[in-house]
Amino acid sequence: MPLDPRAARFLDMAAAGRAEPRERTIAERRAGLAKLMAFARADRMGPPGHDLALPGPAGTIPVRLYGPGGASADEILPGLVFFHGGGLVAGSIETHDVIARALAEASGCRLVSVGYRLAPEHRYPSAAEDAEAALKAIYATASDLAIDTDRIGLVGESGGAALAVGVAVAARSAGPRIALMGLICPVLDCGAESASRIEFAEGYLIDRATLEADLADLLPPGFDPADPRLSPLRLPDLSGLPPAIVHTAECDPLRDEGEAFAARLAAAGMPVTLQRHDGMVHNFHALGAVLPHGRAALDAMGVAFGVALRG
């Protein structure tokens, strides 16, 4: 399908006066994402979250705990551990508050949004270390959080999706059991040039220059962007990973790696559901104020995550 007309109008507006990614400071990159996330809207949204701190490898990790409306504080519910997008250099618990509240409400789950460390102040693998530590701490304190340890899922969007997969890979051998991976417009191969990365290299919200600038800020000297820890599409073996729900956008440079990952999971015998959103761009689910499909899709994602965790 062609680019959605509403998405096309939004892209034209977003492009006006936009600085070249390589010329932006990291503060400007973060401010730009925060401005973009102001367009997040949801068909339904749960109550505000509660800020907590979990132990991490470099001090405490800030998290925010959400629950669906109508659930008592001590009611044991399935849990979602959420890793926000932003290329691992931008984004925060605060910028993604609407997304987290919407997913908690639609899923009927408790959701823990993780404020992992960002580059360039904390280069890779700092974010991955925080993500793994957060899961272990959530599992260890699940009774206090009113989360059912048998029904914990990981949800990651964009760069946060690679964190979700990395946590699942670590848990595959060391535990705890993960019941679901939800991957939204995932970044899963930083070492390849797919057809969609070429086709949508410029003018589709996230472009080649932004991806390259983020990667330059993220990686320490000598780190191979094709390393499977950062590029899990290159993992030699995907067997034993949790069931997955993967969402891609048709007009997203990252589309092909998400769909290739889903195909590899299926080939390894893992249950996987793949949905491509026609005419949509990267981050469409967080642009509900201008994309009605994004608002409805975010709601449907949450519902599907909740159904999957309840079996």
Hey, which residues are catalytic here? 158, 252, 282
Contacts for 67-73: CB closer than 8 Å, 24+ residues apart: 67/104, 67/110, 67/111, 67/146, 68/104, 68/105, 68/107, 68/108, 68/109, 68/110, 69/105, 71/108, 71/110, 73/146
Beta carbons within 8 Å of 292's beta carbon, 6+ residues apart: 6
User: What are 53's strand-pairing partners?
Assistant: 62
- The maximal CA–CA distance of the chain, rounded, in angstroms, is 50
Nearest CA-CA partner of 272 in 186, 188, 183, 160: 183
Q: Report the relative pairing of strands 59-66 and 110-114 from DSSP bridges.
A: antiparallel
Beta carbons within 8 Å of 198's beta carbon, 6+ residues apart: none
**What phi and psi values does residue 36 have, to the nearest 5 degrees?**
-60, -40
Count of C-beta atoms within a 10 Å radius of residue 229 = 17
